Structure formats: structure tokens, C-alpha cells
Amino acid sequence: MNSIIELKNVTFEYKNGDEDRVVRALDRVDLAIEEGSFTGIIGVNGSGKSTLAKNMNGLMLPTEGEVFVKGMNTRDPETIWQIRQSVGMVFQNPDNQMVSAIVEDDVAFGPENLGVDPEEIRRRVDQSLTDVGMYDYRKKAPHMLSGGQKQRIAIAGVVAMLPDVIVFDEPTAMLDPKGRREVLEIIRKLNEESGKTVVLITHFMDEVARADRVIVMDDGKVALDGKPREIFLEVEKLKELGLDVPFATELADRLRKEGVDIPEDVIFMEELASEIEKRVKNQCQSESNI
């Protein structure tokens, strides 16, 4: 697979206004995001994950090092708009991305600013609203929608611009469990069915369990990088970093400490339920043979 985003020795610093001191939010980060992949980035508040997201499409420029999107340097003013068309951003608060009083007008805003033909805009708006399950709401006012519905509209607005990559910066942080499930399902579909490269920034461990890769940020650095099953084996390390693990992983770890033989790489509840069921059946069979 080809790398669609590359960060080379990226450092990002800013001045803390209150104390007038320099804060290093990213510290010599080297990363490559593969085309078509689903990458989850986790870390506690202040670990650098949101700063990392904003460096991926040129909303922020590194203090040192370089960021490349499809081979284009984010420092190059001649390609910055092409970069931002290639890498769409969905933020935590959908209200910050709403610009119109009608849903379909809001989704059309991005393509209109790109100079897309009106007929093509109509097609893109209808398709992106269908993709996120919000076509029937196209004539509604965004402020009348739930938080989860607003976030789906925000996603549709980004999808309508046809980016190659979508970076989601804590998109479910303000949502209830139902809204979280809906948005995560859309994110998975965009990756699996539409082939979008997805980067999901979150502090919810369960949200990245089905990613191809998980990157753990700590104090502006990459602390861990690997497949979800590899990362969530590091239960003690994650706790040292102030992070939890998926509930299934935590429960499996507790069961192992109580002497129950559960594989260490369990990260989904359905896997844990299956393992427990096997052991109950084996126990019942053993007892019936006595």
C-alpha cells in the first residue's frame, strides 16, 4: 500500500498565552498513513492527538519537520488548497461546521466553494446525505436535529467534497451512546465500502478496536503503534498512560487473574462471550462424565 500522508520528524510548538512559555505539542513525530486504511489515534487530553490531526491537512504547519499529503508539502502555499480538498476534517462539535439554515444547503456549501457544477453539486448532496442516512432530513433546519444527526450532516458536508482522506477529531465526544454508534457505523462504511482513508482521533478505546492500526500518543510523542490486538495487550502500559482498554479486554484480564483461561488478545465482547461459553460447555461436559 502507498502512504497518502507522511509526517517526517514533525515538531509543533506554541506559546502559552497566560504564562508566555513555549509548549511542545508534537515532538519529532514520524508517521505514515497508508491509503485506504483505518487508523485510530488515542491519548489523554493534551497528548497531542488533535494537534496531530490539524497538521495532517495544513490547518497547522509544523514548527520543524515536514508533512506531505499525496506528495504535496503542507508548507507549499501553491498546493495548500489542493491538500485541504484531499484531507477533509470532521470536528468534535458539529455546530462549528454548520453554515446554513437548511440541511441540503449546508452540505452543498463545500462543493459550491470548490466551483463544482450545480448539477454535480445536486448529485453529491443527495448521495452524501443518503450515505449517512439523512436524505429524508434534507429540507430540515440543522438546529432542529439531535447531536448525532448534526454530526452526520457535518460528515455529509465533508463527503460531498470527495476527499481522499477524512480525519475525525473526536467526532463522538459530545454524543450519547446511540449517536456514537450511528456515527461509528458511518465511519466504518466510509472506509470499508467507499474506500476512504480514515483517521479517527478519540479517547474511547472501543472506537478504535476495529481499526487496522492504533497509534497511542503521549506528551507529543508516539508511545505505541500497532494493530489493535497488539496495542490492547499492553494493559498495564496503557493504564500508566492514563488510558483504559476496551471493556472486553479489561474483563478478560480480570478473569485471567482469577485463574480463568481466556486468550490475551480478546478485545470484543462477542469474542469474550464465545470463550466463556466454550469453557462452561467443557465444564458441564466434564462434570457429566464423572
What's the distance, CA 245 to chain centroid? Answer: 16
Q: Any idea how long the chain is? A: 290
Task: Pick 271 or 17 by higher pLDDT.
Answer: 271
pLDDT at 53 over 70: yes
Quote the CATH superfamily of domain 3-243.
P-loop containing nucleotide triphosphate hydrolases (3.40.50.300)
CB within 8 Å of 40: residues ≥ 6 apart: 200, 202, 207, 208, 211, 213, 214, 215, 228
Burial readout 179-201 (b: 16 or more C-beta within 10 A, e: otherwise): bbebbbebbeebbeeeebbbbbb
DSSP three-state, residue 224: strand
Count of other CB atoms within 10 angstroms of residue 65: 16
What's the distance, CA 236 to chain centroid? Answer: 24
Residue of 234, 68, 241 whose CA lies nearest to 165: 68
How many DSSP H helices and E strands does the chain contain?
10, 10
Residue of 251, 244, 281 whose CA lies nearest to 266: 251
Alpha-carbon distance of 258 to 101, in angstroms, equals 57
pLDDT at 267: 87
pLDDT at 136: 95
Alpha-carbon distance of 289 to 284, in angstroms, equals 9
pLDDT-derived band at 18 (thresholds 50, 70, 90) equals: low
Residue of 164, 150, 159 whose CA lies nearest to 69: 164
Mean pLDDT of the chain: 91
Q: In what order do the strands lie in the sheet with 64-69?
A: 21-34, 3-16, 64-69, 72-73
Output DSSP code: residue 83: H
Write the pLDDT tens digit of every residue in 57-100.
999 999 999 999 999 999 999 999 899 999 999 999 988 888 89
pLDDT-derived band at 204 (thresholds 50, 70, 90) equals: confident
Residue of 267, 254, 265, 262 whose CA lies nearest to 280: 262
- Dihedral angle, C-alpha 84, 134, 98, 145, nearest 10 °: -150
Q: Is the pTM of this model over 0.85?
A: yes
Look up cell 467534497; give the residue.
161
pLDDT at 26 over 90: yes
What percent of the chain stands above pLDDT 90?
Answer: 66
What percent of the chain stands above pLDDT 70?
Answer: 97
Range of lowest pLDDT (2-11, 217-226, 245-254): 245-254
Task: Enumerate the domain spans of the chain.
Answer: 3-243, 246-290
pLDDT at 257 over 80: yes
Q: What angle do CA 110, 116, 120 make, to 5 degrees?
A: 105
pLDDT-derived band at 27 (thresholds 50, 70, 90) equals: very high
